[in-house]
Each structure stands twice: as C-alpha cells, then as structure tokens.
C-alpha cells in the first residue's frame, strides 16, 4: 500500500534527476564543452514545455505533460496520466487519472483522489520536498552530465523531426543520454537506473509556466503518508 500511495509521486519525481555528478572532467573534452554550452543556453531560456514518460518495469508506466520554469526555483503545473502496469488500477483509485502535480520552489505537490483523502484526514494534496542533492532543472542535469568521467558523443540523430547531437554518460548509479539541437538547447533526456526508465522531451522554450500553492489545510507531507501517519 505504501508503494502504491507513492507511485504517482515517483512518476513525476523522475523529472528531477536527483543525484550529484560523479566528479572530474569529462572523458571527451569536446563533448564536455558542448554540454557546458548547452547548460548556459538552457539556463538562460528559463522555461519549456515538457512531455515525459516513466516506466518502473512491471509496476507502473505514466506520462506527464505541461510547462516548467526554472528562473527562480522550479515552478509549473503538469498533468500526469497512468498508462499501464500491474499497479495501474490501484494507482488510479488513489492518485486519479489524470492527476495534477504543481512544482513550486520549495517542493512539489500532487493531487490525489477522495479515496486517498479519506485515509489522510480529508487532505488531497501530498507535499514532497526536494532532495538537497536533486538536479531540479534541465540545466542542472546538463551541468552534472558534463562532469561525468565517461561522457562521450554518440553521434547525430533526428528526434521528433529535429536534428540533434546525442551524448551519453553516467553519474551516481544512473545512465543518462541527452540530445542537443543546433541552438544548444536540450531536446530530449533519458535516464535509466535498474528497471526504471524516464524520458523527458523539451519544446517551446520560453513558454509561460505557473503553479498555485495548494491550501495548507488540504495538504499532507509525504513523510507522513510514507510512515502511515
């Protein structure tokens, strides 16, 4: 039950890489410089539309769409839909389908169903604070990958009709692939760790993003949910 209660949170949390870099300069100097240029351009772009898919293996698959900004912390609203997996039915009952997640600078909040609220004193929103070591923006993940010791250029590939350069590396326990276009902007990012895979596609850089903070009386901390409190 605890796993299912956190399933929707895990899906949207995959948008945040959540690990530090492995340290040191990249094995391929040209690739490292390309990632530094992309970091600067993506950071300056401030926002983008995102279309993300997550796959936890047999457990759950989902898709999240919306717009995120990162000029002053993370802010934006995503719609999350469960697309399959053994836990899909139970997750839909507790988390809704679709559900909504709001990213704010201090934490992100996921809207759950009345069935969930009946277990949590009538509260519908789960508040999940960011890990202190999370890479909260696409620019952060580019900076971290640029420091990976095994960073390398894979080659030129077309992603959703856009000609890109594909780079690959590892840090922490994750394998990370990114695709950068001719404007030095991130088009796609895929991360893998064990059975978990997340792919995020970025478009319409500069798009407006906003999120309203859920009412405090309708919010429960994720730590309380996870502990059964």
Tokens of 210: 């906003």
DSSP state of 41: H
Please tell me whether residue 108 adopts helix, strand or coil conformation. Answer: strand
The strand order across the sheet containing 219-221 reads 152-159, 162-171, 174-181, 186-193, 196-203, 47-55, 61-69, 75-84, 99-104, 107-111, 125-129, 219-221
pTM: 0.87
User: What per-residue confidence (pLDDT) applies to 15?
Assistant: 59
pLDDT above 70: residue 118: yes
pLDDT above 60: residue 14: no
User: What per-residue confidence (pLDDT) applies to 75?
Assistant: 95
pLDDT above 50: residue 130: yes
Higher pLDDT pick, 18 / 210: 210
Report the distance separating Cα 31 and Cα 158, nearest Å: 18
Report the distance separating Cα 169 and Cα 226, nearest Å: 33
User: What per-residue confidence (pLDDT) applies to 13?
Assistant: 59
pLDDT above 60: residue 8: no
pLDDT tens per residue, range 169-219: 997 788 999 999 999 999 999 999 999 999 999 999 999 999 999 999 999
Higher pLDDT pick, 20 / 220: 220
Report the distance separating Cα 131 and Cα 9, nearest Å: 13
Report the distance separating Cα 228 and Cα 222, nearest Å: 10
b/e 191-209 (16+ beta carbons within 10 angstroms → b): bbbeeebbbbbbeebebeb
Beta bridge partners of 226: none
The fold adopted by the segment(s) 2-226 is: outer membrane lipoprotein receptor (LolB), chain A (2.50.20)
pLDDT tens per residue, range 148-174: 999 999 999 999 999 999 999 997 788
Closest CA to 32 of 118, 190, 143, 198: 143
Task: Give residues with Cβ within 8 angstroms of 5, minimum separation 6.
Answer: 94, 116, 225, 226
What is the longest distance spanned by two Cα atoms in the chain? 55
Of the chain, the percentage scoring pLDDT greater than 90 comes to: 67
pLDDT tens per residue, range 21-77: 444 454 689 999 999 999 999 999 999 999 999 999 888 999 999 999 999 889 999
Per-residue CA distances from 190 to 48, 138, 144 (Å): 17, 11, 14
pLDDT band at 10 (very low <50, low <70, confident <90, very high): low
């Amino acid at each position: 039950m605890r796993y299912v209660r956190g399933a929707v949170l895990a899906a949207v949390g995959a948008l945040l890489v959540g690990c530090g870099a492995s340290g040191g300069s990249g094995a391929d100097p040209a690739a490292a410089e390309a990632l530094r240029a992309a970091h600067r351009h993506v950071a300056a772009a401030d926002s983008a539309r995102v279309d993300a898919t997550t796959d936890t293996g047999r457990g759950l698959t989902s898709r999240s769409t919306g717009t995120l900004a990162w000029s002053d912390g993370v802010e934006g609203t995503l719609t999350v839909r469960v697309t399959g997996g053994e836990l899909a039915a139970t997750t839909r009952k507790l988390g809704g389908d679709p559900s909504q997640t709001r990213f704010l600078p201090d934490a992100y909040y996921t809207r759950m169903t009345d069935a969930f609220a009946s277990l949590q004193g009538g509260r519908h929103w789960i508040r999940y604070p960011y890990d202190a070591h999370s890479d909260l923006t696409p620019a952060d993940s580019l900076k971290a990958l640029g420091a990976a010791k095994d960073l390398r250029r894979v080659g030129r590939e077309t992603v959703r009709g856009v000609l890109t350069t594909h780079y690959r590396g590892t840090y922490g326990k994750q394998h990370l692939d990114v695709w950068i276009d001719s404007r030095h902007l991130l088009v796609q990012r895929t991360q893998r760790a064990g059975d978990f895979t997340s792919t995020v596609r970025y478009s319409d850089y500069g798009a407006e993003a906003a999120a309203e903070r859920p009412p405090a009386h309708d919010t429960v901390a994720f730590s309380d949910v996870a502990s059964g409190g």
